[in-house]
Amino acid sequence: MFPLTEENKHVAQLLLSTGTCPRCIFRFCGVDFHAPYQRPYKELLNELQKFLETEKEELISDVPNPPPKKIRLQELEDGIDGIDNLSQNGEGRVSILEDGSIASKNSNLNVCNVCLGILQEFCEKEFIKKVCQKVEASGFEFTNLVFSVSFPPQLSVREHAAWLLVKQEMGKQNLSLGRNDIVQLKEAYKWITHPLFSEELGVPIDGKSLFEVSVIFAHPETVEDCHFLRAICPDCFKPAKNKQSVFTRMAVVKALNKIKEEDFRKQFPCPPNSPKAVCTVLEIECAHGAVFVAGRYNKYSRNLPQTPWIIDGERKLESSVEELISDHLLAVFKAESFNFSSSGREDVDVRTLGNGRPFAIELVNPHRVHFTSQEIKELQQKINNSSNKIQVRDLQLVTREAIGHMKEGEEEKTKSYSALIWTNKAIQKKDIEFLNDIKDLKIDQKTPLRVLHRRPLAVRTRIIHSMETRYVDEHHFHLYLKTQAGTYIKEFVHGDFGRTKPNIGSLMNMTADILELDVESVDVDWPPALDD
């Protein structure tokens, strides 16, 4: 069933005669159901022409003593009631043939003066197949997709011009047309293309999909359509660092909402000029949203930084915890890059023992995303077999939201350590036993000198929940601590030139230093433990 009614005839004829395509005519007539847009373009054009034939006949029959047929044809081509005179090039876009049908004067496709061809050839199966070929060649793994399009900003200007034209004509009939009454170009485009993409690729279109196919359109011929707006509404067009042009769609729409109708009409033709060529496709992009892998790592080396150790562009050590884990993940997930995060960090000379430290890795634009639990186990084993400096456990796929549990633990949870302490004075077992009785000791730590280059200067209050000592000899003892997360253990031992108060040295009234430090546990119950 043809979607237009008798009420729409005058507007449809007006738009068609000024160079507007059938689908844009549907949009301006408020056709908001999908089926009519999805029909092949040539069928739509033929049906629209048949629908409008009666409009032409009515125009002719209204004239008393109608002239001979040849003269009538000439008058129609010149534009009865001045309709065709609205076309900027002075030529009617539509003419009546001798058999009474309406046809374009050009045998080739007349490019729509509103959508610039977007709702013409870029909705047809041939174009969709080209996009799908690019998608299939991209090598991404996906079970659904979201399809997005970026249209040239001048389309908003052209739509505004066509709206003013139609609004003026409808006003003569005491009818109104609001901007919101027009079906959005992007909506109509998706109504047409989504079923075609699903059919061609065999997967559903899902707005929540992590896999995105985007098509970016441009139209160099009409790129200056927006420029007059900057002179009238300069506040709408402010340069932005991440934008190549000030004429963004948002800026153009903002200006169109501010500009007065009479000012717009003075600067831009209503209806808009008919272009010579359709839009061009600047880019067809495929991208997959990040996926996240989490686990816990043990670090057994005292010569391994958590992240690459580079100073003034020079690499100090050949590897890091981050790289020993991430290199394997990058290869298997076929990702472009990664971001590593963890629940705290240990120094290069500190081991992490016990159940390990929670970590998460964001894999950016991965091409492979579907793994069985067995494949993840095998990946974990591969990481563990590749180095004796680290081991990974509980490796699993997680959501972005779940990583918040790890970050909560950085400040709120407790951590346990063991340290080998040296004293400058000889000690006996009884000299250190008092430390065992201290509970929930509050200390003030000024930002340590060794991290001042990357941390703001501040005094942080931390709690030493408990301590336990084990005597070794007259200058050494083991100290086991349970502390608030975020405590600088080395500085608690040696005092950092008085920047941490109190400290082990001040409590014992002697000089103390730390020779070895191990992280025994990070009390964050995340990620969930997995069966071996």
Task: Calculate the alpha carbon distances from 255 to 154, 213, 330 in Å.
Answer: 12, 30, 45
Residue 89 CB burial class (10 angstroms; 0-12, 13-18, ≥19): exposed
Sign of CA dihedral 65, 66, 68, 74: positive
Q: What are phi and psi of 425, to 5 degrees?
A: -105, 150
Q: Read off the DSSP letter of residue 205.
A: B
Tokens 């930002």 locate to 447
Q: CB within 8 A of 72, min separation 6: which ones? A: 60, 66
**Catalytic pick among 32, 263, 327, 347:** 347
User: Could you give the CA distance from residue 117 to residue 279 in angstroms, rounded to a whole number?
Assistant: 6
518 an active-site residue? no
Cα R_g (the chain), whole angstroms: 36
Q: Which of 116, 113, 150, 120 is nearest to 39 (CA)?
A: 120
Q: For residues 342 and 293, is the Cβ–Cβ distance under 8 A?
A: no
Is 20 within 8 Å of 114 (Cβ atoms)?
A: yes
CA distance 495 to 424: 14
Catalytic residues: 347
